[in-house]
Copies of this chain bind each other. A is one copy, B any other.
């Protein structure tokens, strides 16, 4: 059965780990369409993985299965889970990696992945990506009912990503994601910003919100509503992350 399964991990691309996961999936469902999102999440950075999952799922069909494995607690008591919401199906450890999904979904159901019928027969305590998450995803992609996987979970682990503080005159937020271009993505939603907003970050004051990088000269700092819908701080054809060290942001309305 054709079905998309995406992979987001901190495994890197140097080792055979990602390859083993792909083999497990295709051995169970030869027609699965495996899509690499990234394997370069910084090691153990659950928040960055959570942000990635939230940012890609709106662009995939709703029946897509997203495996997200950033799993510093592998082999401990933390449970493997499957999350079903109107945004997709998500598989990974219960360590908060789906926190953004819980917050942004209208309906969420969460189950432990426990039914060994849908796991590899031999399971290590160090590589649940291969032994638990990949086979569970592959079986779901073949039509296995999620309710078959295990008991419902009522209180999943929730990370508390920092929220902006809003007062009458100002919004105080922070940079929560730096991309490889050096763009700084803040936690301030774009719809809180207007064209006359004045942005303070580190020792810089940016007195307007650009509509494209080209609104300023090459090498100059700007603020912009980025492609994820949040306020971003960028440098036209350069890197804001090289310029800015203090990641607190104040927006004067």
- The reply to whether A39 and B13 form a contact with Cβ atoms under 8 Å apart is yes
Interface residues of A in 32-75 (CB under 8 A from B): 33-41, 43-44, 51-52, 55-61, 64, 72-75
- The reply to whether B16 and A4 form a contact with Cβ atoms under 8 Å apart is no
Number of copies of this chain that the complex holds: 3
Whole-angstrom distance from the CB of A67 to the nearest CB of chain B?
12
A76 interface hit (Cβ, 8 Å): yes
A217 to B63, CA, bound (A): 40
A11 to B72, CA, bound (A): 27
B contact residues around A14 at 8 Å (CB): 38, 40-41, 179-180
B contact residues around A16 at 8 Å (CB): 37-38, 51-52, 55-56
A124-B61 contact, Cβ under 8 Å, with A22-B35, A214-B76? no
Whole-angstrom distance from the CB of A118 to the nearest CB of chain B?
16
A248 interface hit (Cβ, 8 Å): no
Interface residues of A in 105-127 (CB under 8 A from B): 124-127
B contact residues around A194 at 8 Å (CB): none
B contact residues around A181 at 8 Å (CB): 43
A19-B34 contact, Cβ under 8 Å, with A11-B180, A76-B214? no
A147 interface hit (Cβ, 8 Å): no
A153 to B17, CA, bound (A): 31
A186 interface hit (Cβ, 8 Å): no
A30 interface hit (Cβ, 8 Å): yes
Interface residues of A in 155-183 (CB under 8 A from B): 179-181
1/0 contact string of A204-235 vs chain B (CB within 8 Å) = 00000001111000000000111100001010
- The reply to whether B61 and A30 form a contact with Cβ atoms under 8 Å apart is yes
Whole-angstrom distance from the CB of A38 to the nearest CB of chain B?
5
- The reply to whether A44 and B237 form a contact with Cβ atoms under 8 Å apart is yes
A12 interface hit (Cβ, 8 Å): yes
A residues with CB within 8 A of B: 2, 4, 6, 8, 11-24, 26-27, 30, 33-41, 43-44, 51-52, 55-61, 64, 72-76, 124-127, 130-131, 179-181, 211-214, 224-227, 232, 234, 237
